[in-house]
Amino acid sequence: MKPAPFTRHVPRTVDEVVSALAEFAPLDGRILAGGQSLVPIMAFRMARPAHLIDINEVEGLDRLAVDGDYLSIGARVRHGAFHKPVIDGPLGKLLAFVVSHIAHYPIRMRGTFCGSLAHADPASEWCLVAATLNAQLVVKSVRGERIVDVTDFLEGIMSTSLAEDEFLAEARLPLLPDDTKFGFYEFSRRAGDFAMSAALVTYRLVDGVIADAHVGIGGAEDRARRITEAEDVLNGQVPSPDLFVAVGEAAANAIEPLEDIQTTAEYRCDLVRAVTRRALERSAQ
Amino acid sequence: MSDKTDITLTINGHSHAIRVESRRTLADAIREDCGQTGTHIGCEHGVCGACTVLVNGEPVRSCLMFAQQADGKEIRTVEGLADGDEMHPMQRAFMENHGLQCGFCTPGFLMLAVGVLEREPDISDHDLIDVLSSNLCRCTGYQNIIKAVRAAAVEMRQS
């Protein structure tokens, strides 16, 4: 249970990070952020990177601030930063509600928002938030910077569109209008364990009618994503228990469920039906 | 690959100049290189919480941090809780409420609870249970740990 030997690099600036990545990524080098997923994998020797580029000392990457119409989350911003609402309005409350579902308190002191996205575990709460809210991701390398839509970033189980020499420097979450309703529900076997399914919904009520519905599902497919079939059922309707049941049904019918040793496809669909409905019920409370 | 680096770990106010490989976990360095064996190592992959210590006041899993990452930071372990012969209120509460049997998980629980209560003295009872769900104990069934931490929380708020 000891990680294999590696060489640690400690850049101080983003320029040094991308230079180190360009040099060492081809030599089996990778970024070390919070390490709360990577280090356990290394302890099991499932990963044995030759080089780790430790970004924990990099200036500026701990920036968490509103820029215009989005919240900018730097690569060093840890889960624990969201324990209390980071901004007024629904987005701050949404993030504070969701963060309590991520692993456990000491893990949240180290693990990072962007690290979760780059790790791309299908059960990641932050991947679900990013997918549901249409996050934009700022990706950097010695070749420059590009901004990637979350739908193009998350490619599958622990797989992203990051090139070998690129790192995720910042995530941008659109601010939510003040009248946004949201609901999140996650099902897992134990507190802090991986989500077996989770749903995040946001919408606005215009004259009592649902508009701009976002329904995201995580932990059920190979990546978190918005389910348009479920959103179509919500938009233009008045919230009601029957409607919420119908949306859960639509979401369950739309997914391609992951199967594993404890979860059949049928069970996963049942879970999606339930977590979607319960997220909607929370949104209406 | 196995090059060692000189670092200084400051544990409970004492400096330890040590020389470690990059792969050395903070937990191993605290125990093996600095001789502070109060911090226990259980699962070595971040699940059990036995190795929880405070780094710059934050409770973290010391098995999921590399020792070199803690260079120059303020580390607190269970050895630093008592003030001479005077136990920390959290230690006394564990004793008075039968919050331990074999004691293996206890250093982790103590550091977790002290760290969180110092950061958030007014944390609710409900949130405290969520915090304590982070660590594993195979003896007590948790009820007495929760009782102990709640009792200590009251005392720590008063002092």
Query: What fold characterizes domain B89-158?
Result: DNA polymerase; domain 1 (1.10.150)
A112, A140, A174: which is the final residue of a domain?
A174
- What is the extent of the structural domain holding A261? 182-283
**Using CB atoms and an 8 Å cut-off, which of residues 106-145 of chain B contact chain A?**
112, 116, 130-131, 133-134
Is position A147 within any domain? yes
Shared-domain flag, residues A248 and A151: no
A139, A174, A209: which is the final residue of a domain?
A174
**DSSP secondary structure code for residue A104 in this structure:** -
Looking at chain B, which runs of residues are DSSP E strands?
A: 4-11, 14-21, 52-55, 58-61, 74-76
A7 contacts B23? CB cut-off 8 A: no
Domain range summary for chain B, segments of one domain joined by +: 4-79, 89-158
Q: Give the CATH number of the domain where residue A21 resides.
A: 3.30.43.10
Largest CA distance in chain B: 52
Q: Which pLDDT band holds residue B159 (cuts at 50, 70, 90)?
A: confident
The 3-state DSSP composition of chain A as helix, strand, coil percent (nearest 5) reads 35, 30, 35
Separation of alpha carbons A87 and A69, rounded Å: 12
Residues of chain A with pLDDT under 50: none
Q: Give the tens place of pLDDT for each residue, B70-85.
A: 999 999 999 999 999 9
Interface probe for B, chosen from A1, A8, A102, A104 (most Cβ of B below 10 Å), is A104
* The pLDDT value given to residue A192: 87
Give DSSP secondary structure letters for B100-138: -SS-SSHHHHHHHHHHHHHH-TT--HHHHHHHHTTS--S
Six-digit token string for A37 = 């997923």
Separation of alpha carbons A30 and B74, rounded Å: 27
Q: Give the tens place of pLDDT for each residue, B26-38.
A: 999 999 999 999 9
Separation of alpha carbons A53 and A117, rounded Å: 17
Q: Give the CATH number of the domain where residue A212 resides.
A: 3.30.390.50
Phi, psi of B61, deg, nearest 5: -80, 115
Q: Give the tens place of pLDDT for each residue, A91-112.
A: 999 999 999 999 999 999 999 9
Are B89 and B156 in contact, with CB atoms under 8 Å apart? yes
Separation of alpha carbons A262 and B48, rounded Å: 22
* The pLDDT value given to residue B61: 98
A236 in contact with chain B, both atoms CB, cutoff 8 A: no
**Beta strand A51-54 pairing with A7-9:** parallel
Query: What fold characterizes domain B4-79?
Result: Ubiquitin-like (UB roll) (3.10.20)
Whole-angstrom CA distances from A203 to A211, A218, A234, B151 are: 6, 18, 9, 43
* The pLDDT value given to residue A262: 86
Shortest CA distance to A27 belongs to which of A48, A58, A56, A42? A48
Angle subtended at Cα B10 by Cα B7 and Cα B13, rounded to the nearest 5 degrees: 155
For CA atoms A35, A103, A263, A157, the dihedral sign is negative
Given a cut of 90, whether residue B141 has pLDDT beyond it is no
B133 contacts A104? CB cut-off 8 A: yes
Whole-angstrom CA distances from A39 to A52, A80, A117, A267, B65 are: 11, 19, 16, 31, 8
Cβ-Cβ contacts under 8 Å, B69 against chain A: 54, 56
For CA atoms A250, A253, A258, A263, the dihedral sign is positive
B76 in contact with chain A, both atoms CB, cutoff 8 A: no
Closest Cβ opposite residue A35 in set B44, B59, B64 = B64
**DSSP secondary structure code for residue A161 in this structure:** S
Q: Give the tens place of pLDDT for each residue, A135-187.
A: 999 999 999 999 999 999 999 999 999 999 999 999 999 999 999 999 999 99
* The pLDDT value given to residue B2: 61
Shortest CA distance to A230 belongs to which of A277, A270, A282, A185? A277
- Residue where the block lists tokens 């319960």: A278
Are A166 and A132 in contact, with CB atoms under 8 Å apart? no
